[in-house]
Structures are given as C-alpha cells and as structure tokens.
C-alpha cells in the first residue's frame, strides 16, 4: 500500500471533473460505491451508466458557468489499514459569480489497500442544487 496523498488525489479529481473526458473520473472510483446527500442515498456500480452520468454532470456544470473546482483543504481520518475518510473543502468558481469562491464540503470514503486508491463512498454535506440556488446559479 502506497502512501495516500489526499490533496493530490482530489486535485486530480477536480481537474477531471471539468475536463473534456470526465469519464476518466470513474477510474478514481471502486467497482461500486455509495453516494448520498441530505435528500437521497444510493448504491451504484461503476459502469457505463455512471460514465454517462459523469458526462451529463460536467455538461450541466459547464452550462451553468462553472469554471473551476479547486481543493481548498482536506481533513483525513485513517480507519484501520484499509480506509481513509477524507473531507474535502472545495471551492468552485462560476462565470456569474466572478472571483467569488463558492465553498462546499464532500466527505469521501477511500479504499487505500490496493495499488491505486479508490473512492467507495461519496457524501455531500449539502445538495448541489440547493447551493447553486443559494448563489443564484439556477
């Protein structure tokens, strides 16, 4: 097991989220994962449907003027030898809000036991829709 650098891992995640090939983001996820926000929870396979969803999410974010998604900070909690719970404080910039950083937090359960770390849980502290409405982006 290599040392897990959460800041580097999630900086790549942010870059891939807005790249021309957001499907590459699926390579950072395990073969299945849990995703939740305050309104819904589900378990999902990392399959072609997930890759299509990632592309649609990227297109929606671009359509709403998202220009960047940067790591503002990370907090890691090691859970045994196999898992790290990482809370990422993200900062998104949108065309409409200019230099104003829109902050939001997501906690990720990452399996660090293999050759490459894999996300097996995604827990958004608030809904993306709610935050975008709050900032007048929807």
Q: What is the pLDDT of residues 104-125, one digit of tens each?
A: 999 999 999 989 999 999 999 9
Which tops the pLDDT comparison, 55 or 128?
Answer: 55
Q: What is the pLDDT of residues 49-101, one digit of tens each?
A: 999 999 898 898 888 888 989 999 999 999 999 999 999 999 988 888 888 89
Could you give the CA distance from residue 14 to residue 136 in angstroms, rounded to a whole number?
A: 22
pLDDT for residue 1 is more than 60: no
Write down the pLDDT at residue 2: 57
Q: Among the residues of 18-103, which ranges form H helices?
A: 48-63
Helices (H) and strands (E) in the chain, counts: 3, 6
Could you give the CA distance from residue 130 to residue 29 in angstroms, rounded to a whole number?
A: 25
The CATH number of 6-134 is 3.10.450.50
Write down the pLDDT at residue 38: 93
- Edge-to-edge strand order for the sheet containing 118-124? 40-45, 29-37, 118-124, 102-111, 83-94, 66-79
Span 20-49, mean pLDDT?
93
Domain boundaries, the chain: 6-134
Span 132-138, mean pLDDT?
74
Write down the pLDDT at residue 3: 78
């Amino acid at each position: 097991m290599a040392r897990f650098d959460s800041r580097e891992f999630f900086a790549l995640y942010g870059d891939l989220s807005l790249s021309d090939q957001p499907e590459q983001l699926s390579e950072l996820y395990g073969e299945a994962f849990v995703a939740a926000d305050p309104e819904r929870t589900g378990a999902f396979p990392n399959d072609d449907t997930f890759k299509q969803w990632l592309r649609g999410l990227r297109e929606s974010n671009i359509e709403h003027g998202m220009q960047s998604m940067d790591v503002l900070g990370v907090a890691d909690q090691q859970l045994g030898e196999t898992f790290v719970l990482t809370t990422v404080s993200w900062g998104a910039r949108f065309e409409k809000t200019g230099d104003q950083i829109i902050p939001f937090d997501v906690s990720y359960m990452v399996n660090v036991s293999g050759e490459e770390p894999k996300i097996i849980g995604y827990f958004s502290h608030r809904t993306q829709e709610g935050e975008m409405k709050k900032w007048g982006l929807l």
